[in-house]
Amino acid sequence: MMCPYSKTADGFEMQFGVNHLGHFLLTLLLMDLLKKSAPSRIIILSSMAHSWGTIKLDDINSERSYHSRRAYGQSKLANILCVRSLAKRLKVTLNAGECLQNKLLSLIHRSDSICCPPRHRSH
């Protein structure tokens, strides 16, 4: 998150490649299987950081100008645009905007004891 400039092995800006493109490709590769094994789910997370970025199609890899915060925002905005696109194409969807952040955070904190050994717990 908001790392120094680097690229994936495929040549994409690291945050865009890791936060969006990898998940997007995996979703596409699994789409037929997901449809056949319904009910199934595609869960794509983003954050308020999407407001930090724009999709710069003429400099998608931030080669001309790199700002880690904007690059991170671009990757999160791409996640939101992907969700919107999938929602148009798939019959049964839950708009990610329906998921309340506080409820998700509450769930994460309650599952902290399951996910983290005692020395790493946040409370």
Q: What is the token pair recorded at 83?
A: 């969700």
Which residue reads 């930090």 in tokens?
52
Q: Which of 72, 75, 78, 83 is catalytic?
A: 72
- What are the residues facing 7 on neighbouring strands? 13
| Residue 72 among the catalytic residues | yes
Element (H, E) at 11: none
* Nearest CA among 76, 58, 81, 89 for reference residue 20: 76
| 11 Rama sector, left if φ>0, alpha if ψ -120 to 50, beta otherwise | left
How many Å apart are CA 101 and CA 82, to the nearest integer? 19
* Nearest CA among 81, 112, 84, 96 for reference residue 43: 96
Which residues are known to be catalytic? 72
